[in-house]
Amino acid sequence: MTLPQHIAIVMDGNGRWAEARGESRTVGHRAGVDAVRTCVRACAARNIGALTLFAFSSENWRRPEVEVAALMSLFVEALDRELEELQRNRVRLRFIGNRQTLAVRLQQRIAAAEAATADNDGLKLQVAVGYGGRWDLIEAARRIAARCASGALRTEEIDEASFAAELQLAGLPDPDLFVRTGGEHRISNFLLWNIAYAELHFTDRLWPDFGEPDLDAAIADFAGRERRFGRTGAQTRKGGA
């Protein structure tokens, strides 16, 4: 079976999972962390090269202050608690997003976790916090413009490769499988550039309930797709150009 090289996941449905149990939304986010752990372990065990998780979008700042505060504490707590297991599994952890918007305490934990796992050669795990796909594109455009203005880059040299090298996921293969839990069929401003050719898999499963069988169903769905990249089906099946 063809395995995806890079899975990107919009983890949706924590709030509904909690509300269905008469619990606060924070209880749902806590259950969401357990599902993250299961998913990271499962991807590492299946030799998936990279996993990128949407934990907090630039738009999520609009949520009630108590929920935002609870999520930020949860990120700090999860980093403190999970780092040891990430190290044991040789996971390389990186954060993508606008870190300047995060509390200094969280920024420090993030920097420390990234430094501690930087040389790990296992699963490349990206956690998007304060991330938006349009923000990512604008930041890249700004850096390119600055390089052009300083004379370091000529405008004719701007191409897909030089542009992608300025994006948050620079250096990683594009996600080839995009998964969204929670029943909505939306991209929600995640990785707009990088998912140009990704296979999309939507499931009604709420994120805290997303387990190994659901990951395997998404992988099997991916394996069954014909990836054509603009070619005809006949060309792809022949493996021709």
Q: For the CB of residue 22, give the shortest distance to ligand FPP in the complex, in Å.
A: 14
Considering the complex, state which of residue 67 and residue 166 has its C-beta at the smaller distance from ligand FPP: 67
Query: In a 10 Å sphere around its CB, with 0-12 CB exposed, 13-18 middle and 19+ buried, how is residue 146 labelled?
Result: exposed
Among candidate residues 12, 136, 176, 214, the one labeled active-site is 12
Q: For the CB of residue 209, give the shortest distance to ligand FPP in the complex, in Å.
A: 11
Q: For the CB of residue 35, give the shortest distance to ligand FPP in the complex, in Å.
A: 7
Clarify whether 60 is annotated catalytic. Answer: yes
Q: For the CB of residue 238, give the shortest distance to ligand FPP in the complex, in Å.
A: 42
Q: Which residue is nearest to ligand FPP (CB)?
A: 15
Considering the complex, state which of residue 35 and residue 219 has its C-beta at the smaller distance from ligand FPP: 35
Among candidate residues 14, 60, 89, 221, the one labeled active-site is 60
d(CA 134, CA 112): 27
Cβ-Cβ contacts under 8 Å for 91 (sequence gap 6 or more): 40, 44, 117, 120, 122, 123, 124, 125
Considering the complex, state which of residue 13 and residue 175 has its C-beta at the smaller distance from ligand FPP: 13
Q: Residue 137's closest CA among 200, 197, 191, 57? A: 191
Q: How far is CA 159 from CA 116, 153, 155, in A?
A: 34, 11, 9
Clarify whether 120 is annotated catalytic. Answer: no
**Phi, psi (degrees; rounded to nearest 5) at 55:** -95, -30
The two structure tokens encoding residue 226: 């014909």
Helix (H) or strand (E) run with residue 59 in it: none
Considering the complex, state which of residue 144 and residue 178 has its C-beta at the smaller distance from ligand FPP: 178
Q: Residue 96's closest CA among 162, 140, 64? A: 140
Considering the complex, state which of residue 74 and residue 137 has its C-beta at the smaller distance from ligand FPP: 74
Q: For the CB of residue 27, give the shortest distance to ligand FPP in the complex, in Å.
A: 11
What percent of the chain is helix, strand and coil (3-state, nearest 5)?
Answer: 50, 15, 35
Specify the length of the chain in residues: 241
- By the 8 A CB rule, do 61 and 101 touch? yes
Interacting residues toward ligand FPP by CB under 6 A = 11-16, 25, 29, 32-33, 36, 53, 55-56, 60, 74-75, 78, 127, 182, 207
Active-site residue list = 12, 60
